[in-house]
Amino acid sequence: MPTTTSDEEANKVESPDVRSLARRSLSSVREAVDPRLSPADRPADATLDEGYLRQLHDHRHSEKHIASGEKEKTDEEYEDSSNEIIYVDFEEGDPRDPANFTYARKWAITVTASFFSIITASSSGAYALGFPSMDRDLDATRFQATVGLSTYTLGFAVLPLVTTSFSEEFGRQPLYVVSAIGCLLMHLMAALAQNIQTVIVARFLAGAFGSTSSAMVGGSIADIWAPHERGLPMSIFAVMVLSGPGIGCIAAGWIEQNPHLEWRWIQWLHVIWLGVLIVAMPVFMKETRSAVLLTRLAKKLRKETGHPHYRAHVEDERASLRTLIYISCTRPIYLLFTEPVVASFSLWVGFAWGILYVLIESIGPAFQRIHHFNTGQTGTVFVAMIVGCFAGEAIQLYQEKLYAKYYPTKGPEARLFSSMLAALLFPAGMFIYAWTTFPSVPWIGMVMGIFVIMMSLFIIYLAVFTYLADCYGIFASSALAGQSLSRNIMGTIFPLFTQQLYDRLTYHWGTSLFGLIAAVMIPIPFVLYWKGSTIRAHSRFASQVIHK
């Protein structure tokens, strides 16, 4: 292992334009890298400032790039030169470190990123309320319209496998801006569409661009908030994500009811919101990925001092184009299938997310057939989803008190008290919804079932984000991208069979079936609370995260 200073020592390096940075040994640098990389994978100094386009050119011509005419290093020579590497890090209290941003800046970043989430979440549900006029205008079947609902979540599932890990290499802010612009253009495409095929394609691409708003915000919050501060920002993010479909459906119900507006204006509404967001992003957001900021500073330091051995630790995994693609594209899936914590929570929240889309698709037909609601009244039913989210937030406030009390002894598992309650309430809410779907039972019974389901879903969703962020730290975005894949695949599949299931089994037995599946999953948070620390101790990723 290379050493340039002792583990206890942190000398300063000075540069005219780069303020002092700590100089550290590999064993004392704070930034972690993917544990699948070995020391031999560390790039040579000469390749650090080489652009990826040049590396891609070399790769396409099957050349082994050897910078500055140097011969390729043998293992022995590599070991000798590695002793010269000097890792740079932020000094304690450095204002450039995202963890030391002012509270005003942290909240500006949190709220702006979460606003992106509420827009994309709103679009996911609001789209379904425009089915009647869209089917008429585009001469489409109801199943074709439903495919547009599913492809939106499919876009959410696929793209984060690349974008979230790339954000850990290139930075969060550029991806936020590009994603918001792309999402706006795709909603514009849907608003102007002249056939259902165009709508389906636009919905998929809107979901792909909008996926950043769901998969990356958790990582951004983990970048700037310490674990003991993270509960409230994560709660606000979760409120926006899960109340978004309700807010969108309320507005969309009355827009669809107006013959002068209908489905196209549901899309135009989201175009307007995204335009506001794009204007706000450069004002309120800054780069939050500390490894990216250190890389920029190290690159500037190499240029100004002429010393090629200064580097940020994350550059050990990003200087090679082949290594970058390998790390960025495989880490979320690797975590999903090899980390028991990620796998179990992903299965649970994936099923819960599927139930959310079951509600979005079934509430309209159920209330119209059973209680003869019109489109506007049906949209208003979604208020129950919003109220459920706020009730879940009230429970989370108490959860934060429990977290502060038990974190010293339980660690990240102190995040799981409320999720254990939600595990019991979630199937209970489905059984309430199932057995109040009779004309003889007042409509408020179904609304109460929706309320309990959404309150539980909110707690589950938030527990997944806060617990995985605490467990995986710097790898949080990749862990959350893994669960996002599971969650949105379920959101893609469930709408495609919801109406067929209810037509065959009725609302009573169809929803009861979902409730029984939820009951089988009750042990998941209890097992993680009991054995979570032992499981994390054997994780190659989670074991690198220091909880403090």
Q: What is the DSSP string of 65-85?
A: --GGGPPPPPHHHHHHHHTT-
Percent of the chain with pLDDT over 70: 79
What the block records as the tokens of 265 is: 């204006």
In a domain, 292, yes or no: no
Do both 543 and 498 map to the same domain?
yes
pTM over 0.85: no
Would you tell me how many other CB atoms lie within 10 Å of the CB of residue 179?
A: 22
Do both 279 and 395 map to the same domain?
no
Instruction: Say whether pLDDT at 89 is over 50.
Output: yes
In a domain, 416, yes or no: yes
pLDDT, tens digit (0-9, with 9 covering 90-100), for 11-39: 555 554 455 665 555 555 555 666 666 65
User: What is the pLDDT at residue 321?
Assistant: 57
Do both 407 and 267 map to the same domain?
no
pLDDT, tens digit (0-9, with 9 covering 90-100), for 332-378: 888 888 888 888 988 999 999 899 888 888 888 889 889 988 888 88
Instruction: Say whether pLDDT at 180 is over 80.
Output: yes
User: What is the pLDDT at residue 118?
Assistant: 92
Do both 350 and 410 map to the same domain?
yes
Do both 165 and 225 map to the same domain?
yes
Residue ending a domain, among 240, 261, 287, is 287
Q: How far apart are CA 201 and CA 438, in angstroms?
A: 38
Do both 247 and 349 map to the same domain?
no
User: What is the pLDDT at residue 1?
Assistant: 35
Q: Which structural domain, as residue segments, surrounds residue 117? A: 96-287
In a domain, 22, yes or no: no
pLDDT, tens digit (0-9, with 9 covering 90-100), for 411-436: 889 999 999 999 999 999 999 999 99
In a domain, 190, yes or no: yes
Do both 350 and 485 map to the same domain?
yes
Instruction: Say whether pLDDT at 408 is over 90.
Output: no
User: What is the pLDDT at residue 402?
Assistant: 92
In a domain, 147, yes or no: yes
Separation of CA 30 from chain center: 24
User: What is the pLDDT at residue 290?
Assistant: 83
- Total domains in the fold of the chain: 2
Nearest CA-CA partner of 222 in 237, 211, 243? 237
Angle at which helix 160-170 crosses helix 172-191, to 10 degrees, equals 140
Count CA atoms within 13 Å of residue 315 on its CB side. Answer: 27
Residue located via tokens 């054997």: 538
User: What is the pLDDT at residue 228?
Assistant: 81
pLDDT, tens digit (0-9, with 9 covering 90-100), for 41-83: 666 655 556 555 455 555 555 444 444 444 444 444 444 444 5
In a domain, 36, yes or no: no
Do both 380 and 512 map to the same domain?
yes
What the block records as the tokens of 534 is: 């032992």
Do both 398 and 516 map to the same domain?
yes
Do both 418 and 527 map to the same domain?
yes
Do both 280 and 341 map to the same domain?
no
In a domain, 274, yes or no: yes
In a domain, 295, yes or no: no
User: What is the pLDDT at residue 74?
Assistant: 43
Instruction: Say whether pLDDT at 168 is over 90.
Output: no
Give 540 or 96, the one with higher predicted confidence: 96
Distant-in-sequence, close-in-space partners of 416: CB < 8 Å, separation ≥ 6? 463, 467, 525, 528, 529, 532
User: What is the pLDDT at residue 336?
Assistant: 85
Exposure string over 199-235, b if 16+ CB within 10 A, otherwise e: bbbbbbbbbbbbbbbbbbbbbbbbbbbebeebbbbbb
User: What is the pLDDT at residue 79?
Assistant: 43
Do both 193 and 336 map to the same domain?
no
Instruction: Say whether pLDDT at 108 is over 60.
Output: yes
User: What is the pLDDT at residue 66?
Assistant: 41
Confidence band for 268, pLDDT divided at 50, 70 and 90 = very high
**CATH number of the domain enclosing 415:** 1.20.1250.20
